[in-house]
Chain A
């Protein structure tokens, strides 16, 4: 079974631009979560989608948004990029995040550099 894939793997943008990152979950997984990883703040939860609905959200500004499609693929968008948005963005998929915990499987991440 193929793992979680994220595209692109690397991205360079300039301040003020916007960016869209993509995540394809493991086949059959309907829950997709996004995380931001930086040296200063570590790994922080952004949001979680299930069946095209955002169910859970971390403490990030509204510039960070996402969506999920009917095939469970998810995209994350960051508008008006700031230098501090430079990070590794990780996507994780699982069967379900309600009730007993189901293991989240992580993709390799997209490394975003904002200049």
Chain B
């Protein structure tokens, strides 16, 4: 257990569906991240939230919409996805703005399949 949970763990959705991925961190961190991991590709950073403010959007298509209502929760809203969006979606958190380290802690991921 890393202190970061993700639900659901597996999701199959059609291209016309709307679904949401949820991430929750119990570590008291102030930054949260969404990553995409496709087969045979390095982990790709999608979004970063620091203190609930989005600080980075890595040219992600608008069919992915993040939401960070507070520093402990992060959502990724999905709509009209494409089959190539099938991947493992990982959430992470870290403590930013301290003199220690920005060590990232990851959740177990949501395996998304778009049919």
> Is B truly associated with A?
no
Chain B residues close to A by CB (< 8 Å): none
Contact surface of A with B, Cβ cutoff 8 Å: none
